[in-house]
Structure 1
């Protein structure tokens, strides 16, 4: 991700540190361990509850052909951050964000700074 410190990418590559990179919606999710009858441990990601909105958003009118990943790139600088837009609305299926042209959705402000040219 642009602007990420080089050491952060290195930390993400450490085996066993955490199964999800820092930019993932599951990075802070708790990892559970299930022990099978034969003693084998199976790791899994515990359910992630939708966090309360924690920042300002801006409205965006969905245009024909838009996709969540393209909105992530346009507004947040990373197509992998589409989940932040999904969390702000909230939707379970990210396709709900863009499946209807003309729908108004909330888009989190990147870094908390207004992006005047992208306001509707």
Structure 2
């Protein structure tokens, strides 16, 4: 079962960050204001990348020739812009690392905080 089948509407959006859709890696992060050259500038607070062990595993995927982070995210999560979730689940900062090695076993997981069968 894919993420999109489990959560067709995505995860709920936080009222703290209305500028970002629920599918964004910045959704739910608080916004802050700083003064810069006499102007008030709003910004998103720092996002800490979670440890891969905090994600409930759905399955593994072996990287095949021609796959890219966005095409893999589209196939596995239903949205090419969610490649960052694959990065988080596999402890990768550079998305290109996900598909750089053919045959690499990638963890396909639920988002952080969503319990899986093993957590129930």
TM over 0.5: yes
* Secondary structure, counterpart of 2:61 in structure 1: strand
1:74-110 deviations in Å (ceiling 9; x for gaps): 1111212211111100111111101121211111158
Question: Are positions 1:4 and 2:9 aligned together?
Answer: yes
Aligned partners of 1:67 and 1:98 also within 8 Å: yes
Matches within 5 A, 1:101-112: 101-109=102-110, 112=116
| Structure 2: segments with no counterpart, 5+ residues | none
Cα RMSD for the two superposed structures: 2.9
Aligned length: 106
Q: Tell whether the 8 Å contact from 2:55 to 2:110 is kept in structure 1 after alignment.
A: no
Gap change, CA 1:66 and 1:46, over 3 Å in 2: same
Partners of 1:76 and 1:109 within 8 A in 2: no
State TM-score, norm by structure 2: 0.71
Q: Structure 1: state its 5+ residue gaps.
A: 114-120
